[in-house]
Structures are given as structure tokens and as C-alpha cells.
Structure 1
């Protein structure tokens, strides 16, 4: 892993892994390749890839094969615009297309992306403090426009998985082994949820978070419907989350447990990937089969649940097995697909309209939040809101590396406090801001020291997150010279198992108070 000395000197190194591809007799050493802004990418450029395929917080993956194209999206929780749709033709390299959800319906958990006939659908569980339900949005093109979400009035279930029966009936399979029928157009439910499946149970002495059957996904292959379910809890102990399967010749059951359940489970604390689960089967471009699921990187709960790709083998008895082991080693890529350049830059010179959703997103935005933004003269003009990051609806990014640095020129109006943050949620964040007289340090989700600010209303700020060690630097001459700010932090505990919420620690910027802050030359570099 990149040392602090190497990072600070701009070295582009990656985490080492033992390389053993299928049929390879000699173990070699592999590292992640680097893409936009030196971010790590899975494709090793030699016909193999090293997980994760989507680094950073990309949980509850839902994937759609549509001809030679693949589309995928993830839980986006309180980030809006949400449900960013990603596109691939080889399952390894992905590029963002658009954000399908712009209307704030609450925290979005475990959506389902599917296509029925010529129409695309998103089934979206969402919750607010006062209401829980699932919604549906649709589009005639994957890039939209997407409809506003329609309430399906399903308050007691999460994680809908779409399925079409042998008789053409449409269903949503739900948490806890339940399902509900859909109308033929997929835009409403018919009747009430019913219980149809009792998931396989693990031995009682296993260390898990909870039974929690969730994330049901249906794949029809050959003469069977295959039902894949996540159990064991999605966080908590690294050994909890797991993948199980069952099959039936009818969408109406009965369901037969896979004889080798669980198919995926972290069993040791020293494995690279923890809490692996929430899987979907998908056919590759070369007729191979794969599974996409999520997991936490060992020691980096702060990065959220990352998307992992695991090869699948169909066995002679009509079952399937995951063949990627603990996913610590490079795996041969599927062949026959087209490789795009993976990901997107996180740096922004504000020379084009802000890439809301595809790059930047607001945390818990109010109605009309986007009206706070104006891009002009290669600067982001951001109207202030609230009194601190907690109430300002900061603009945030998804960063997927263990170490990175970001910085920006910031100019503020009188009465504004602005700065850079590492933000988990409104009660857990850190960062550095300033008004025209004083700095303000953010730590543990509260505002602490307020030393004097010698730079006035304009300066360049820099934040370095070096494997959870956070430092701040300030510059009054546009970054030609820097001064270390006298407050360092350690943030390895800024994650779900401490705070809840299933989120990640995200870099970003904020403006609070009355007036406007202007940001320029935002640069990001992973290392």
C-alpha cells in the first residue's frame, strides 16, 4: 500500500496482490492501474482485473444486460441527484451516464434496474423520518428522461427484485422471503405482499449481524428460476454478510436450497474483502457468467461498500458456484467486450456546467437546492445555507482510494463561512473552513477551534487523507507556498459501524451563512 512518504511525493503506486490466474502456474505481483486523477481502476491491461470493479461507495449493485450493453446502479441514500446509471460493455470498465432520480423521496436503499419489453424500470425503496415505501420510475431510453417516482405503497419491505414468471406475470420479490404481484405495466402493485420463501439458515454459532434476509434477485437460466438472497446483515462483523441461493422450475415455487449454501462468505478477519453479499447473476459478453455484489475493504469501512465481480461456473447438476475465492487475486476478464476508459475525473475546473449526479451531489437537499449553484468565469458560485456543514447540504464526491488529496481556491462574501470537508453525515464529519476573520475546524461532527485567519476572504485550502490520517494546509498565494494548519485528525472510525447509516466518508465543499462562496480550480489526486 502507498506509504505516506510516497503519496506526498506524488508516487502512483497500488496495493500489491498475489497474482494467480486460471491455469497460471507461477504467482506474480499485481497492483491496481491508475486512471483519471490517479484513481485506481480494476482493469490491469493484460486480460485480468483486480477487484473492486467500482471502488468507493457503490453498494447493493443492480445490473442489467441489454444486448451488448450493461447498465448498473447502486444505493445512493441521501445523495441527490441519485441513482447514477453506469455503462459498460465488458463488466470491468464503467462510465457514468446520468442520474435518474432528481426528486428527493428520502434515503434510497437497494434499487432494482430492469427492462421489460422496450421500457426501462427502476424500483426504488426509500425512507424518510415519517414514511417508508418503494417507488417505481420508468424511461423509454436508459439515458432518460426518467419519470418522477410513483409510490407503490409498500411500507414494510425493502430491496425489490423484479421477476417475470413462466406465465408472463410480473413480480417484485422482497425482503424476508416475500413477494408482491405487479400490474402488467409494472407501475402499481396488485394485491398484498405474500410470504413464499423461507431462506436457508446458517449454524447458530456463526458470528453475524442479524439474519436479515434481503436483496432478492431472480435469474432465469435453463429450466430453473434462481433466487439469490443476502443474509447475515450487511455490516457489523466482517463474517456476517453472505450469499445464498435457491431454485424452482416455477416462479411460484417451491424453492429448493442450494446444497452448498452459503456461496460467498468472509470467514477470516485477514481477508481483503469483508461482509460480502447482495449478489446478482449476469451473463458476460463471451457467454461466461458472473456475479456482482458488494463488500467492505479490510480496514476501510470509511470507503463504504464497494462493487465486486466474481466469476460463476454452472455445474452439471444445474447449480452454480462462485469461483473467485476471497477476491484478493487478479481474475481473467470476460472476453468479447469493448473496454471504455473507466470512471470519470473528480477534479473540476468549472469550465462546464456542474456534473450534478455524475460527479457532484448534494447531501439531503431541500426543494430547489440546485438553484444555489451557478458556474461562471471558471468558478463555482455557491449560495450559502445553514450555519455549518451539518446544515449546509454540502456538495460531495465519491472517492474510492485509501489515500487522496483535494484542494481549491475559495473566496467568500462577508458573512459566509466556507471550506473543505470529509463528510459522513450531518453528525459525523471533519474539515477546515474560514470566515473573513477566523478559521473554523470541524471534528467529530462539531465545530471546535477558531484560530485567527491571516488570509482574509480568499485563500487556497488543501485536505490530505492519507490512509485515515488527515491534515490541512493553507495558502495565501494560490498554492505556490503552503503552511500546515495546526490540527491533524484520524478518521478510521468515521463509518457505519460507529454511526450507522450505511454511508461512506466523502470529500467535498460547503458554504454556510449569508451570501456566496466561490470555488475555483478544484483538484483531486489519489495516491
Structure 2
């Protein structure tokens, strides 16, 4: 039987900044989650071809308190490593990131098992972001991170630095060593350090995480440098060819298989065309790499462009069971694919117990809030997909709403909801927010007075988004116009006026359920199920 190759991207839909590690026969990749809770996604594979979402290590507010964090704050570029029987996870909780300053708090948690329990966090530093941990052969451990320079006229990407971490004292000790200021590509970040042969190799992300992104390599015979950049230029980038299927290639980490084969996990994006908007967010791909005779790392395919299909390693195939398309809310917990905004899911506002077989969401603050949103959602992971739900809900005021949301952040979303109107009574409405500009695409609300159950659905066909409603889940009627799904993307969220960056985003499209009660009475909606289905892409 012919075994299938690695098909990129391996982690589809908002799984950026990959940190890959092998432990025995198991491969794990940690990716950024930003303001979504629980923090950090860890995927698992045994053949580098088939991957499953395994766990989220940051599950407690004591590990990650993001109340009030800005959009695209929270978890940036975690680093997962393993040494002496212990998993180490380094992560940043970003409290602010617009303007000259970035408030970035770096922590470490550990666990004997990848699925936890993970420890309480150890504070490391706040000097910059993208921290990673290097375990040297002599037993010493070193923290690397980018230092952020806020001063006018300076390069804000102030270089990669390193400091020793003491496991006994649980803190950083000794001097801070500057290692690398980057290449002419600039925006040097995302450091990972490796030892191979006679050299230490520093892999960094450069060029910014948009379409100029790249991964570069520098090396030194000494841990403390100086580090010489690869004279051949970036290891991987898509910046010089906008026609490539995988764009934004960069931010990479290295892994060696049991048989001595080498791969990099790297960030990528698949833009809608012709808009070049990535509503699936930044994703993760794999490329096969080799060492040259003179000790540099190269893509095995040659050049520096990412491939859509990559030769698999010499490992037995290990598929995982297919994910169920429907969550009927009849178990003890929600699907692992659901996340919440900035805080843990709590029984007080999201209950599977109050009415067995239903998810009861109690309305709280608006979709503009950075504190208490009653919203659960999952990633969109294919260009063509549909999602649907059924709810029982009896709003008494226009400030009470519940329904199906297509969400990027507080300022960018589409929302099909059930509410109440003085004329229509219980009704269906549609709202949107585009860079914070609020709109209601319907001329008038649609009355659903007398309906016991209300079915809501959205369909996605690349850039085309259409909402629907039904009384029985069989006969569907469209709601409103075809909407632009490309607006639910990093590219649309970014706002630049002159030389000033006023807003930016690093996440991707989510589809979910939510409820609001702007009057503060906690009116609840009961959701019977949530279905997410992907169709074959053209």
C-alpha cells in the first residue's frame, strides 16, 4: 500500500508559531492561542502525517488571567521542550501590543505528562516576547527572547538575548547575553536554539508575520556567539512569489526523527484570492530539510519555497479516529475544539447540567467586551464549511440576544441572532462589525413569533458567507445578503493611518454560539447541538 505524503498545512486554521518536539515515538506541536482560553494548543502525531488536537495545558486562571487583554493579546509563540523526563512550556501573556510599548510577561510551566497536570507558572521576565528554552548538553538551561525597544529612532526589534534559567531556584540567574541582531530582513523574533555537530544554530523568524515572513538560520561555534547568518539567505520564505499556495512562510522550529531525518514545522497562510485575505489565519506546515557538507540547513527540495506536499519520514502510518461533526451537548464536557474568550468556561454562564442534553448560555456582556463574553467557538479550518445550531430562547427585550456568530475579534464579526422587537416580537436579526463600524444588514427583523425552536446556519464558500434560518432544520431560508468572509481576517483587522499602526490581528475566523443580556439580568438561551462540517475544496 502506498502511504500518503505529508499534506500541508498539517494544522489548518489558526495554529501559528509552531514549536515542535519529539519524545520517543511521539511528536508534539504547540501553537499560539492569543486571547482564546484555554491557552496553547498541543497537537500530537506518530508519523508526521496524521495529527490530532490532544490538549490545552493552560486551563486555570492562576496560569493565565486574560481579563481585559486586548484583541490578539494573550498567548504569543509558546515553546514546548522536553528534558530529563519533564515537559517545559514557555509562554508570553501579552497585556498590550499597540503603540511604542509592549507589555509582555513570560512564564514557565512544567509537567511529567504532556496531558498534565501542568504546574503553576514561574515568572521569568517581561523584557520582550517569543521566549524559548534551550537545554544544553552540559545540563544548563537557557532562556532566549526578543528584547523590545520602545525608544524613538531605535529598531524596536532590539535583538535576541539569552539568560540562564536555574531549575533549583526557579528563576533566571546571571548576566543577559546579547546573541543576534538579525539580518537585513529585519523584525527578528521567534528564536529557537539547537546544537548540531560542532555548532550552535539559532533559528529566527524575520520579515514580519505578513507576506514578507521568513525563517533564517545563524550559527556559532560558541553558545555565546558571535552568530553568523547563513550566507545563502532565508531557510524558507514565500515573500518573492505571491502565486505560491502557501504564503507567509516563516517562524520555524526543527525536529529530528527516530531514523535521523530532519523536518521543520513552520508558519504559513493560505490567502483568499484575489483579496489575499487569510480568514483561516496563520497555519502550520512541515518541510523536509537536510544538512549540507559545510554545516548549513537547507530545504531538501532546494530553494527556499514551501511545498504543498512533502515526503513522509520512514515511520509506520498512524491515523487517528475521525472527529465527530456534531456536538449534542449530552456529555460531561464540550468538544476539545471549543474555546472561550479570555477566561475559563464556568458553570455560572455555560452549563451542561441545568438542562441535560442542552448547552445553556446565560447572557452577559456585548461582543465588544474584553471581560465577560458568554461565547464558545471553534476554528474555521476549511475554506468550504457549514455550521448550524438549534436554540430555544424567549427574549423579552432587544438587549437580550443569542445565536450563531462568525467571529474574528471585538471589532470584526458577523452575528445571526434571536432577539425581541417592539413590532416583530421574537425575531431574527443580523449584525456586523467591520473594523469597529457597526451595521445591521437586514432592512427589518424577521418575526419568529410562536416558534418553539429556531434553527440557525451559516455556509462558507471561500470568500462568500451566507446565513440561513429554519423552523424545522430541513427547509432553510437565507437571511440577508451574501457577506464577505475575507473581512474576518488578520489583513482586514490591521488598521494603519500614516505611519501609525492603530490596530492589528494575529488570529483567524471562529464559528460559535453566544448570548448577551445587556440589561444584566442573565437571560439564558438553550442550544440543542452544534454541527460543523467541512466540504471538499476546489
TM-score, structure 2 normalization = 0.82
- What corresponds to 1:496 in structure 2? 490
Counterparts in 2 of 1:127-276, with a 5 A limit? Answer: 127-129=94-96, 131-152=103-124, 154-175=125-146, 176-185=159-168, 187-191=170-174, 193-202=176-185, 211-235=186-210, 238=211, 240-266=212-238, 267-276=240-249
Q: Could you tell me how far 1:507 is from its partner in structure 2?
A: 0.8
Q: Could you tell me how far 1:431 is from its partner in structure 2?
A: 2.2
- What corresponds to 2:71 in structure 1? none
- What corresponds to 1:113 in structure 2? 80
Q: Could you tell me how far 1:253 is from its partner in structure 2?
A: 2.0
Q: Could you tell me how far 1:217 is from its partner in structure 2?
A: 0.7
Residue in structure 1 matching 2:410, options 419, 426, 429: 426
Residue in structure 2 matching 1:320, options 280, 287, 297: 297
- What corresponds to 1:459 in structure 2? 454
| Residues 278/417 of structure 1: CA separation in 2 closer, same or farther (3 Å cut) | same
Residue in structure 2 matching 1:309, options 286, 298, 310: 286
Residue in structure 2 matching 1:487, options 481, 484, 493: 481
Q: Could you tell me how far 1:117 is from its partner in structure 2?
A: 1.1
> Quick check: 1:58–1:74 contact (8 Å CA) kept in 2?
yes
* Deviation sequence 1:398-432 (CA, Å, 0-9, x none): 12101110001111143441111110001110020
In structure 1, stretches of 5+ residues that fail to align are 1-43, 203-210
- What corresponds to 2:534 in structure 1? 526
Counterparts in 2 of 1:23-62, with a 5 A limit? Answer: 46-62=3-19
SS in 2 for 1:498: helix
Counterparts in 2 of 1:283-298, with a 5 A limit? Answer: 283-298=256-271
| Residues 444/162 of structure 1: CA separation in 2 closer, same or farther (3 Å cut) | same
Cα distance in 2, alignment partners of residues 225 and 218 from structure 1: 7
SS in 1 for 2:40: strand
Q: Could you tell me how far 1:155 is from its partner in structure 2?
A: 1.9
**Do residues 333 (structure 1) and 312 (structure 2) align?**
yes
> Quick check: 1:389–1:512 contact (8 Å CA) kept in 2?
no
SS in 2 for 1:497: helix
> Quick check: 1:403–1:468 contact (8 Å CA) kept in 2?
no
> Quick check: 2:429–2:446 contact (8 Å CA) kept in 1?
no
* Deviation sequence 1:459-485 (CA, Å, 0-9, x none): 0001111112111111112x1211121
**How many equivalent pairs are there?**
469
> Quick check: 1:430–1:441 contact (8 Å CA) kept in 2?
yes
> Quick check: 1:424–1:504 contact (8 Å CA) kept in 2?
yes
Cα distance in 2, alignment partners of residues 243 and 332 from structure 1: 21
> Quick check: 2:7–2:49 contact (8 Å CA) kept in 1?
no
Higher deviation after alignment, 331-340 or 496-505: 331-340
SS in 2 for 1:260: coil
- What corresponds to 1:351 in structure 2? 330
Higher deviation after alignment, 285-294 or 445-454: 445-454
- What corresponds to 1:440 in structure 2? 429
Q: Could you tell me how far 1:328 is from its partner in structure 2?
A: 4.3
Counterparts in 2 of 1:363-512, with a 5 A limit? Answer: 363-365=341-343, 369=346, 371-375=348-352, 376-388=355-367, 392-415=373-396, 416-436=400-420, 437-444=426-433, 446=438, 448=440, 449=442, 451-455=445-449, 456=451, 458-477=453-472, 479-499=473-493, 500-512=504-516
> Quick check: 2:281–2:506 contact (8 Å CA) kept in 1?
yes
- What corresponds to 2:499 in structure 1? none
Cα distance in 1, alignment partners of residues 19 and 321 from structure 2: 18
Cα distance in 2, alignment partners of residues 354 and 401 from structure 1: 25
Cα distance in 1, alignment partners of residues 46 and 269 from structure 2: 25
SS in 2 for 1:76: coil
Cα distance in 1, alignment partners of residues 319 and 65 from structure 2: 33
Q: Could you tell me how far 1:93 is from its partner in structure 2?
A: 1.1
> Quick check: 1:51–1:327 contact (8 Å CA) kept in 2?
no
- What corresponds to 2:154 in structure 1? none
Cα distance in 1, alignment partners of residues 485 and 463 from structure 2: 5
Cα distance in 2, alignment partners of residues 453 and 286 from structure 1: 64
- What corresponds to 1:208 in structure 2? none
TM-score, structure 1 normalization = 0.84
- What corresponds to 1:4 in structure 2? none
Cα distance in 2, alignment partners of residues 339 and 243 from structure 1: 29
Q: Could you tell me how far 1:82 is from its partner in structure 2?
A: 1.7
- What corresponds to 1:360 in structure 2? 338
Q: Could you tell me how far 1:141 is from its partner in structure 2?
A: 1.3
SS in 1 for 2:492: helix
In structure 2, stretches of 5+ residues that fail to align are 67-73, 97-101, 147-158, 421-425, 494-503
Cα distance in 1, alignment partners of residues 169 and 462 from structure 2: 45
> Quick check: 2:392–2:453 contact (8 Å CA) kept in 1?
yes
Q: Could you tell me how far 1:290 is from its partner in structure 2?
A: 0.4
Q: CA RMSD in A?
A: 2.2
* Deviation sequence 1:420-465 (CA, Å, 0-9, x none): 1110001110020012522221212535245132254630001111
* Deviation sequence 1:337-373 (CA, Å, 0-9, x none): 44132774453111212336x21000223x7645422
